[in-house]
Structure 1
């Protein structure tokens, strides 16, 4: 266990150094939610039934949930880049735990995401979003967001190890932006057509966004929604744990076979 922690810490440090020397991807992914908040909040907000400030308060938790789901894209790109450039091959020649490399990568992403959410939170507060649910609720929401980001990054890591090409991973990763659009992150799912509402409410991002709104005191979950959205905190936890249980062993196994 100590060896896993030491090896994972070394890989984590390596990823943090890489981000420090090439911060472009991180800056882009963290700046995009702020741009979307300003654009959606002031342009689309005026076209919706709810007032602009109320919509911005609704939108901020959705963008936080979308940021957490963005771990799929970053995990996919970083893992495929390391495979294509031979970094994974060098790691495989070292006497280190096979779980340490993907764990170190996902842990580094978790730290950078936690820091990267701060500007979005500050801009959200500036445009009218408020935390009405108290400190404990806010901490619970942050914990759920980071847990889901951690799980999403394991999904992306597995896909990146599977694709093994950073250009293909970048193209596929760009398509993940559609996932928040098929959720309640940007607009309430209650107004969607029947079949599309079902898809949106069973989207894990919807449960996470609803949980953040609920814990921050911004909006209560709809009583007639699908179970993950009607019980968003439990739904978010279950989705995150399910993704971790499925993709952690898949990613570790795929990394161990990446020299094949």
Structure 2
């Protein structure tokens, strides 16, 4: 029990340090608030006027849940970049030299990033409401939908931490954005997989982002892509299962990589 209290105290310190850093960096807050606005303007108003998802469905109602899921998905690269910067500047070495619980830095980073993600989600939801998007699924279903979005972000945090610890520097982490972009875009975020070429549609259907996007659409009472595949028919189940599998794989990898630094 004393070791557990020690670990909890250490990760609470890391969370407090991360949130203090955010408050003292107004540019980060401005970027956090401005980025969702730009994304909505670009994907919903600029590209949306040319989009037809079939069935006479309103594109804004279809796209906004996808935007929520895509924002959660892209966030893991911000995690990777932050961890890479901390490692390059020696902050992580400083933490490792202290009598801290081995998992505190990794778990503390994960919790603080989840708080950041919740703030992103609040801003994006307010923008969606301002442009006319509504949830027709009731309060409980709506809250569960936002919980699924944060569950996806929570799982992807550990991929970001693992990548940030594995790359040599922040430039290498920045180069990985080119790989992260297709992860969010080749999905059902903006286009039903049934409208894509068969091979690309199959990739999009099995993308974890698609499962979360379709599940929250269903919970919000928004248009859901029509498809007869097993993965599309069980989007709710996979929206819970995919993040659980990702966490089971990458959380231990991230902790192990942190513990092996400098060996």
Is this a same-fold pair by TM over 0.5? yes
**Counterparts of 2:180 and 2:33, CA distance in 1:** 15
In structure 2, the residue matched to 1:161 is 165
In structure 2, the residue matched to 1:191 is 195
**Counterparts of 2:53 and 2:171, CA distance in 1:** 41
Is 1:104 equivalent to 2:96 in the alignment? no
Q: Normalising by structure 2, report the TM-score.
A: 0.92
In structure 2, the residue matched to 1:20 is 23
The answer to whether the 8 A contact 1:180-1:186 is kept is: no
Deviation at 1:29, TM superposition (A): 5.0
The answer to whether the 8 A contact 1:72-1:153 is kept is: yes
Deviation at 1:179, TM superposition (A): 1.5
In structure 2, the residue matched to 1:249 is 252
Deviation at 1:28, TM superposition (A): 2.8
In structure 2, the residue matched to 1:259 is 262
In structure 1, the residue matched to 2:94 is 90
Q: 1:132 to 1:247 in 2, by over 3 A?
A: same
Deviation at 1:10, TM superposition (A): 0.3
**Counterparts of 1:15 and 1:236, CA distance in 2:** 28
The answer to whether the 8 A contact 2:61-2:223 is kept is: no
Deviation at 1:5, TM superposition (A): 1.0
Is 1:43 equivalent to 2:51 in the alignment? no
Is 1:236 equivalent to 2:239 in the alignment? yes
Deviation at 1:174, TM superposition (A): 4.8
In structure 2, the residue matched to 1:138 is 142
Unpaired runs of 5+ residues, structure 1, are none
Q: 1:161 to 1:30 in 2, by over 3 A?
A: farther
The answer to whether the 8 A contact 2:118-2:150 is kept is: yes
Aligned residues: 259
What is the DSSP-based 3-state SS (H/G/I as helix, E as strand, rest coil) of the residue aligned with 1:256? helix
* RMSD across aligned positions (CA): 1.9
Query: C-alpha deviations, 1:107-131, integer Å up to 9, x for none?
Result: 0011111112112111111212110
The answer to whether the 8 A contact 1:154-1:247 is kept is: yes
Deviation at 1:220, TM superposition (A): 3.8
In structure 2, the residue matched to 1:224 is 228
**Counterparts of 1:141 and 1:221, CA distance in 2:** 17
Deviation at 1:164, TM superposition (A): 3.4
Deviates more, 1:7-16 or 1:52-61: 52-61
In structure 2, the residue matched to 1:202 is 206
What is the DSSP-based 3-state SS (H/G/I as helix, E as strand, rest coil) of the residue aligned with 1:70? helix
In structure 2, the residue matched to 1:11 is 14
Query: C-alpha deviations, 1:26-79, integer Å up to 9, x for none?
Result: 543553332122222222222122599811111111111011112320111111
Unpaired runs of 5+ residues, structure 2, are none
